[in-house]
Amino acid sequence: MQYRIKEVKPNIFAVIVKDKYDRAMLFCRFQEYYESPNSKFRGKNFSIWDYMKWYSDKYGRGFSYGADWSGFNIPWKIVNECICKLNKFETPYDHIMNEISYEVGRNSTNGYIIACGDTKGDTFKHEVCHGLYYTDATYRKKVDAITKQLPKEHYDIFKKNLMEMGYATKVIDDEIQAYLQCDYNHKNFAKGVPLKDRTKYNKLYATHN
């Protein structure tokens, strides 16, 4: 599997994997260790085969993870923690992520890892927003203040949509700021909130950043 690592912002490292399936499978274990909505996997040393069966049963369309998700974002320390908990590497992707973790850790133990197919476009920008939310306290304070200004009705709709998409409660505010900056027309995130309002929120974040 081909990949490259690029520091795109201070302490934000993009892992560029052009193949969407490989990208998803490379990050699956670690993303779900970080923020799975299922506590059976979140923060646990789990078998990837158990996760694949649960995901297939949960969403009723087979193991569609590679088609469902295109971008990923995880603090380096979480990746390292997950690797240290593993009893064994179950797939070649675990070995590759171990290599990536080593390379990133050599440069920054406070780093944030994002994954996308290239370093342009909305997916990349979306993941950078997550990286900034984690690494830049000033950025996080500004976007959190904007998120708090959203009407409760719309905030609750966005939260419901995100949880139906498979996000955990703890990342809702982070996801809202990233989607409203880069993916405010994403059909699953946007449903139930008029375009004119989403456009207004997008401009509000852009004005303050």
pLDDT tens by residue, 64-102 = 999 999 999 999 999 999 999 998 999 999 999 999 999
Of 59, 94, 119, the residue at which a domain comes to its end is 119
Of 119, 150, 170, the residue at which a domain comes to its end is 119
Within a domain: 128: no
Q: Which residues of the chain have pLDDT under 70?
A: 208-209
Of 94, 119, 144, the residue at which a domain comes to its end is 119
Within a domain: 99: yes
Within a domain: 92: yes
Contact at 8 Å (CB) between 58 and 165?
A: no
Is the same domain home to 115 and 170? Answer: no
- What is the predicted pLDDT for the residue at 209? 58
Structure tokens, 48: 């990837």
Report the domain count for the chain: 2
- CA 116 to each of CA 23, 24, 26, 92, 105: distance values in angstroms, whole numbers, following the listed order: 7, 9, 11, 19, 19
Contact at 8 Å (CB) between 174 and 133?
A: yes
- What is the predicted pLDDT for the residue at 208? 63
Is the same domain home to 23 and 113? Answer: yes
Task: Let me know how many helices (H) and strands (E) the chain has, helices first.
Answer: 11, 4
Structure tokens, 109: 């133990």
pLDDT tens for each residue of 49-70:
999 999 999 999 999 999 999 9
Is the same domain home to 111 and 175? Answer: no
Is the same domain home to 85 and 169? Answer: no
Is the same domain home to 115 and 147? Answer: no
Is the same domain home to 143 and 187? Answer: yes
Is the same domain home to 17 and 64? Answer: yes
Within a domain: 166: yes
Is the same domain home to 35 and 113? Answer: yes
Is the same domain home to 15 and 100? Answer: yes
Is the same domain home to 152 and 99? Answer: no
Length of the chain: 209
Within a domain: 124: no
What's the domain range around 184? 136-207
Within a domain: 125: no
Beta-bridge mates of residue 112: 12, 75
Is the same domain home to 84 and 165? Answer: no
- What is the predicted pLDDT for the residue at 131? 96
